Amino acid sequence: MLDATSSYDPMAPRIPVADRTGHRTVPETTRRTDRIPGTRYGNRPTMKDVAARAGVGLKTVSRVVNGEPGVTPETERRVQEAIEALGFRRNDSARVLRKGRTASIGLVLEDLADPFYGPLSRAVEEVARAHGALLINGSSAEDADREQELVLALCARRVDGLVVIPAGDDHRYLAPEIKAGVATVFVDRPAGHIDVDVVVSDNFGGARDGVRHLIAHGHRRIGFIGDMPRIHTAAERLRGYRTAMEDAGITVADSWMSLGVTDPERVRRAAEEMLSGPDPVTAIFTGNNRVTVTVIRVLAGHARRVALVGFDDIELADLLQPGVTVVAQDAAALGRTAAERLFRQLDGTLLAPERIELPTRLITRGSGELPPAD
């Protein structure tokens, strides 16, 4: 189409060629002067084109397109026909500019490919759909800078609201946006230094209960492998672990805890060390789904039977030998709750920011009920 040889780089500041090469700037004007009646070269027909073709006024087309009353059936028919003929579709960008609302919300999460976030994202989408809004999402890859970049890009698009699973821990950069009217809800992890709605799972209680479960089955040397401690959920789950251990009067050895990135390599090493050290653990509590999966693999290669409770449910957990006992959180409920709250903010029916905590559920399947094997 028009200008088809230029490379795609829509957001780049358009620096005139002259400034880079010293040569004269080529006049790359998109010639829009010479039109074919009823349409334009390489461009989409607009309401103006439709109006011209139907022989009516611009506003009449607008009325038809938006189903507003006050148009004769005959006129409407003519307009509809012109719309069909030209393949007109309303430009929502222009509409947004005029109306102020974009009917879209943004979702920033860590990684769409993570099985925990898929259902969460879908739940948010469903709620958005019910309110006539589209969902724009972005993955922060657990990087605070990228999170901020994404969030601000979404604000520049003027999304009506934001659902954020934060990677960073300082969100003061969002304050002006919120003040300007962008509805905002944080999910899964709380926001840093700003006062917004937050929807989280009971990470502390869930982890504590999971570890208690292991203790109740006779374990005392219990390991904890989790995500980086700067991630709130990881810290909370660790706290739950510590509390359960403390409540049981167990002194936790440093070698029983391992926090860090959750790539299989590190987790594998951490698990091996816990299992083979001078004070080997008889059970492991894993801090999230990725860790759990890796630890299951490690344990599968071990002779000694080691008990396991994992945070987050995982598919097929019931079919392994033994079944994997987990502390499950409801990802879809997190997403749904957050999105509903978001739209209540947009409705104006919501008052002060609140923190909502959803319960977790211990699902026993066998791995958490193994007795200690010393």
Site residues for DNA, 71-110, by CB under 7 A, read 71-72, 74-75, 88, 90-91, 94-95, 97-99
By CB under 7 A, residue 155 contacts DNA: no
Interaction residues for its own copies, span 104-143 (CB under 8 A): 104, 111-115, 117-119, 121-122, 125-126, 129, 131-139
The interface partner of residue 60, options being its own copies, DNA, none and the CB cut-off 5 to 8 Å by kind, is: DNA
By CB under 8 A, residue 352 contacts its own copies: no
| 113 exposure class (CB count in 10 Å sphere: 0-12, 13-18, 19+) | exposed
Q: Nearest Cα to 29, choosing from 46, 41, 19, 45? A: 41
d(CA 84, CA 125): 30
**From candidates 94, 216, 228, 261, binder to its own copies by CB under 8 A:** 94
Strand partners, 185: 163, 197
Contact window for DNA (CB under 7 A) among 69-77, 110-118, 206-214, 340-348: 69-77
Q: How many residues does the chain have?
A: 374
Nearest residue (CB) to DNA, 99 versus 230 = 99
Q: Collapsing DSSP states into helix, strand and coil, what is residue 252?
A: coil
d(CA 315, CA 287): 16
By CB under 8 A, residue 157 contacts its own copies: yes
* Residue 156 CB contacts under 8 Å (≥ 6 apart), including other chains: none
Least distance (Å) from its own copies to the CB of residue 99?
7
By CB under 8 A, residue 72 contacts its own copies: no
Contact between 222 and 279 (Cβ < 8 Å): no
* Residue 316 CB contacts under 8 Å (≥ 6 apart), including other chains: none
By CB under 8 A, residue 177 contacts its own copies: yes
By CB under 8 A, residue 296 contacts its own copies: yes
Binding mask 266-295 for its own copies (x = CB under 8 A): ---------------------------x--
Least distance (Å) from DNA to the CB of residue 271?
52
Interaction residues for DNA, span 213-272 (CB under 7 A): none
Cα 135 to chain centroid, rounded: 10
Beta strands 325-328 and 361-363, pairing class: antiparallel
Size of the site for DNA (CB under 7 A): 35
Percent of the chain that is helix, strand, coil (3-state, to 5): 40, 15, 40
> Edge to edge, what strands does the sheet with 222-226 contain?
257-259, 222-226, 283-286, 307-311, 325-328, 361-363
By CB under 8 A, residue 25 contacts its own copies: no
Interaction residues for DNA, span 338-357 (CB under 7 A): none
Binding mask 322-341 for its own copies (x = CB under 8 A): ----------x---------
By CB under 7 A, residue 39 contacts DNA: no
Q: Nearest Cα to 237, choosing from 168, 163, 311? A: 311
Quote the tokens at residue 30: 């998109």
The interface partner of residue 29, options being DNA, its own copies, none and the CB cut-off 5 to 8 Å by kind, is: DNA
Nearest residue (CB) to DNA, 54 versus 207 = 54
By CB under 8 A, residue 9 contacts its own copies: yes
d(CA 168, CA 142): 8
Contact between 115 and 325 (Cβ < 8 Å): no
Binding site for DNA (CB under 7 A): 14, 27-29, 32, 43-44, 46-48, 51, 55-60, 62-63, 65-66, 69-72, 74-75, 88, 90-91, 94-95, 97-99
